Amino acid sequence: MTSAVKSTELRKSYAAIAKRVRGGKNVTVITKRGRPDLALIDLDYLEDLLESQDKEFQASLRKALQEKTHSLDAIFSDLG
């Protein structure tokens, strides 16, 4: 969910706004003079977004999907 807040409101209510953003996919757009200026976003969510745009990361996901997978039962039965 995306919400907007004026920069003056951010100064007054940072803790509450950060709590809404933290640990999820919520983004708060900070406006300055009525225009979008910055965004407050959870760091883990930002990292996920950046990884999803990384060409090497996407290629490694496609490669992993093409490789044969094994169930945990099959792996552990081979050990015993």
* Whole-number pLDDT of residue 78: 61
On the CB side of 21, CA atoms within 13 Å amount to: 23
Question: How many residues in total does the chain contain?
Answer: 80
pTM of the model: 0.63
CB 21 within 8 A of CB 41: yes
Instruction: Say if CB 43 and CB 61 are below 8 A apart.
Output: no
| Per-residue pLDDT band at 60 (split at 50, 70, 90) | confident
CATH class of 2-67: alpha beta
- The number of angstroms, rounded, from the C-alpha of 76 to the middle of its chain's C-alpha atoms is 34
Q: What's the pLDDT tens digit per position in 5-16?
A: 999 999 999 999
- CA dihedral (50, 51, 57, 62) positive or negative: negative
pLDDT at residue 75 above 90? no
